[in-house]
Amino acid sequence: MPNAKEELFDTSRGLPVPWTLTGLSALVGILFPICIALVFFYAPLEKEMGYVQKIFYFHVPAAWIMLISAPVMAYSSIAFLWRRTDNWDRLNDAAVELAILFGVLVLISGPLWGRKAWGVYWVWDVRLTSSLVLVLTLVACKIVRAYAGPSAKQISAGLSVLAVCNAVFVYVSVDIWRGTHPEKVVNKSGGLAPGMRLAFWMCVLTFILGYVVMLWTRVRAGKLRTALDRLHMKAIEAGLED
């Protein structure tokens, strides 16, 4: 639903790309190959895990990004419910989508790690389970947004807050449910060799910058979408389309 009151941009001139976004994207484009090179050629091979340990350099940053996305979602949706400006809604939608994307990355790479480390693909570990439930509830948010009709924005804003609350509850309840959890003792980032440390933090930096680029681009895409919808309406009013 295009919000007629909102000031967008001059559609005849398009939405200019700010140089900061261009620069940031270029930086991520340069950093990403460097990360891969560091992970595979610089960081030493782990004794027990071998090459599978390389998953760690992408799994953990992806999980952190998913966690970063949660406060972004919560903040943007509360800001939207408060202010009712569409940009907050676009930010919320972008954060939800990226949390799903990185959550899926976590859920694919986690079991691959688990297979090598613990011999099974899936363990009912608190972090893995709450990530799964968070992704499921966020998918539910997207579904509701698609079908809820005129008040979809408010609804998905509310739901994404509930999804974050829910993930916290899942974390705590799985904690009780499992009783003892040996996985938690394995502090993954604790004993990193110096070579690994550099590769790891480079990956974290790249992922965070990449996240910012994607978030920004997604918000811009949402803006363009609104502009397109409005042009469509104008075209229909002018009798150019039906």
Footprint of other proteins on this chain (CB under 8 A)? 81, 133, 136-137, 139-140, 143-144, 147-151, 154-155, 158-159, 161-163, 165-166, 169-170, 172-174, 176-177
Sequence-distant (≥ 6) Cβ neighbours of residue 172 within 8 angstroms: none
Beta carbon nearer to other proteins, 2 or 158: 158
Distance CA 111, CA 168 (A): 21
Which positions ≥6 away from 89 have C-beta within 8 Å?
76, 80, 153, 157, 222
Closest approach of Cβ 179 to other proteins, in Å? Answer: 8
Q: Which is nearer to other proteins, 4 or 176 (CB)?
A: 176
Residue placing its CB nearer to other proteins in the complex, 129 or 226: 129
Q: Which of 101, 182, 176 is nearest to 134 (CA)?
A: 101
Q: How far is the CB of 12 from other proteins (least distance, A)?
A: 33
Least distance from C-beta 181 to other proteins, angstroms? 14
> H or E stretch including 180?
none
Q: Are 137 and 160 in contact (CB under 8 A)?
A: no
- Minimum CB–partner distance for residue 151 and other proteins (Å): 5
Which residues is 46 bridged to in the sheet? Answer: 50
Nearer Cβ to other proteins, position 46 or 183?
183
Q: Write out the DSSP string of 67-106.
A: HHHHHHHHHHHHHHHHH--HHHHHHHHHHHHHHHHHHHHH
Helix/strand/coil percent split, the chain, to 5: 80, 0, 20
Nearer to other proteins, 40 or 82 (CB): 82
Q: Kindly state the smallest distance separating residue 21's Cβ from other proteins, in Å.
A: 32
Place of tokens 């009151």: 5
* Cβ-based nearer residue to other proteins, 174 or 196: 174
Min CB(153)–other proteins separation in Å: 9
Q: How far is the CB of 183 from other proteins (least distance, A)?
A: 18
Residue 85 or 173: the one with the smaller Cβ distance to other proteins is 173
Q: How far apart are CA 18 and CA 237, in angstroms?
A: 33
